[in-house]
Amino acid sequence: MNSVSSSLPSGESQSIEHNCDVLIIGSGAAGLSLALKLADHCNVIVLSKSDRNEGSTRYAQGGIAAVFDEQDSIDNHVEDTLNAGAGLCDEAAVRFTAEKAKEALTWLINYGVPFDKEENAQGEERYHLTREGGHSHRRILHAADATGEALQLTLNDAVANHPNIHFFERYNAIDLIPSKARQGSCSGVYVWNRQREHVEVIRARFITLATGGGSKVYQYTSNPDVSSGDGIAMAWRAGCRVANMEFNQFHPTCLYHPQARNFLISEALRGEGAQLCHADGTRFMHNFDERGDLAPRDIVARAIDYEMKRLGADCMYLDISHKPADFIVKHFPNIYRKCRALGLDITREPIPVVPAAHYSCGGVMVDFNARTDLDNVYAIGEVAYTGLHGANRMASNSLLECVVYAASAADHILGRLQDPAGDEPIAPWDESQVSNSDEEVIIQHNWHELRLFMWDYVGIVRTNKRLERALRRINLLEQEIQEYYSHFRVSNNLLELRNLVTVAELIVRCAMQRKESRGLHFNLDYPHTEEKPVPTILRPSRHSAHSVPGTLGP
């Protein structure tokens, strides 16, 4: 990889341009897996908006699903996923992912991800498999209750030791740059160097969006601050279709404590016998689903939301104190330590919990090779819509999707490395007509307003009137933000707000198109379920000149 620079017109600062074979925007499980699969054959830049450890992968507690138990089968994994997806999964995508799951996990094991092990009755060592909501068998490989952190650190170490992978930390991707010579392609990406506070260009033959989801659009979320829907918004602006944005998963059990912002209580606790209850210990999940505490997340989140509103309660409780204390500490050490530090002893008392926006089941439409509607732009992980999750993601399929589609994207890109490379000039970023803002309060005000009305109007339970109110506010905010963006130099908060308001519009427009309640989308005005559901697909109303039609499938 070479880095070159050229001068801008007189009076402007110098423009920095970087060149690589593959640019990967995002440094979580999807992005790092792809980088490692490509780096022996080409030069790779990995762009990280914060530091390389900060992202949703790091905070994933539960684990990764794959069939390792002889009593289990791929057909069972497929059936469970289809059931959790509430009739809206792409069955081919589900089977594609389940069939490649063991290979994906074996690849991670070979890199040294420390999944927990145990001895069987014969004294033979094997991987400990846990079970989570929606799964009919134990098939979750995990590293205690901090699987994501173990995965992130392992992949980080491998990436750091590879000479062909170049890490750009504290860079925001701004927009894809359309190719003028190759219609339907992109030449690179404008990026904002947060340390230098300057816009640069990264030219790349292939670009992969691995930016995660957009749950930061909601007031309460389990996601880290970087989850602002950047890749979804960038792809939409560039002419890509998005799908199923109305299905945002609310994790049912986020720790309710003023000092525990964003801390998840893993679904694996319920898999190991934890029970949801009121403050007085009365259980309630059996009133909502025959599977009780092991019902899928959407049902559990709505049940908790219903009980909180019915009782006027600030939270519900999750109780695992009936299990032996040494069992709890061994299997959930991270959760135990976190709660203990806050004065909660989960071996003796229940955990206060509330639902929080957690996972985007929709995203940028891709095929089985992770290709978007743009010829040389790919999308993997939570940013993408593959058809795997349908109307509700089954626990521990998300990290699996990251690694499986990273592998298929890598194979496709490697097969195209001999394609002719374009070398057309890219116009430098023009800041000649903008100035520094002296009213950051405007961004902060719009930011808080957006997240609050999305929580109130487009949250766990929706109505037509709430959605219409939300859309009116979004339209006004979009005008204000675009005017601000046109007149002032970019900043982290401005770039994220610009992307979040786009994601909010996509969520609301998808929700308004769905005239039923299904999975994660529940509308009181349409409580029924349609017999033949289809994905909600949005196409940019004004296609860019470089956008091309795309299709789902192998």
Looking at the structure, tell me whether residues 380 and 454 fall in a common domain. no
**Domain co-membership, 454 together with 512:** yes
Is beta strand 15-25 parallel, antiparallel or unpaired with respect to 44-48?
parallel
Question: Residue 322 in contact with residue 273, Cβ under 8 Å?
Answer: yes
Q: Provide the whole-model pTM.
A: 0.88
Q: So which residues are the catalytic ones?
A: 297
**Does any domain span residue 88?**
yes
Query: Looking at the domain assignment, is residue 545 inside a domain?
Result: no
Give yes or no for residue 278 having a pLDDT over 80: yes
Last residue of a domain, one of 358, 373, 390: 358
pLDDT tens-digit series, residues 168-182: 999 999 999 999 888
Find the CATH number of the domain harbouring 215.
3.50.50.60
Domain identity same for 325 and 263: yes
Give CA–CA dist 493/227, Å, rounded: 12
Domain that holds residue 194: 17-247+361-414
Q: Which of 115, 188, 201, 180 is nearest to 396 (CA)?
A: 115
Residues 400, 508: one domain? no
Of 68, 77, 131, 114, the closest CA to residue 269 belongs to 131
pLDDT tens profile 362-373: 999 999 999 999
Q: What are phi and psi of 175, to 5 degrees?
A: -155, 150
For residue 307, give the CATH number of its domain: 3.90.700.10
The reply to whether 123 and 267 lie within a common domain is no
Average pLDDT score over residue span 48-63: 80
Is there a domain that residue 70 lies in? yes
Which position has the higher pLDDT, 124 or 114?
114
Task: Tell me: do 466 and 515 sit in the same domain.
Answer: yes
Mark whether 68 and 184 lie in a shared domain.
yes
In a domain, 426, yes or no: no
| pLDDT tops 80 at residue 4 | no
10-52: per-residue pLDDT in tens?
Answer: 444 467 999 999 999 999 999 999 999 999 999 999 999 987 7
Percent of the chain with pLDDT over 90: 73
Whether residue 540 lies inside any domain: the answer is no
Which residues on adjacent β-strands are paired with residue 141?
64, 129
Residues 270 and 383 in one domain: no
Per the domain annotation, does 427 fall within a domain?
no
- How far apart are alpha carbons 28 and 42 in whole angstroms? 20
Task: Please tell me the predicted confidence (pLDDT) of residue 451.
Answer: 93
Note whether residue 96 is domain-resident: yes
Q: Based on the domain organization, do 383 and 486 belong to the same domain? A: no
Q: Please, how many CA atoms are within 13 Å of residue 438, restricted to the half-sphere of its CB?
A: 0
Residue 36 and residue 133 in one domain: yes
The verdict on 327 and 213 lying in the same domain is no
- Give me the mean pLDDT over the 120-126 stretch: 82
Asked if residue 268 belongs to a domain, the reply is yes
d(CA 125, CA 121): 10
Q: Is the pLDDT assigned to residue 147 strictly greater than 80?
A: yes
Same domain? For 386 and 495 the reply is no
Output the domain CATH number for residue 509: 1.20.58.100
Nearest Cα neighbor of 298 from 2, 86, 99 is 86
Other Cβ atoms within 10 Å of 10 Cβ, number: 5
The number of folded domains in the chain is 3
| Last-in-domain residue among 414, 429, 455 | 414
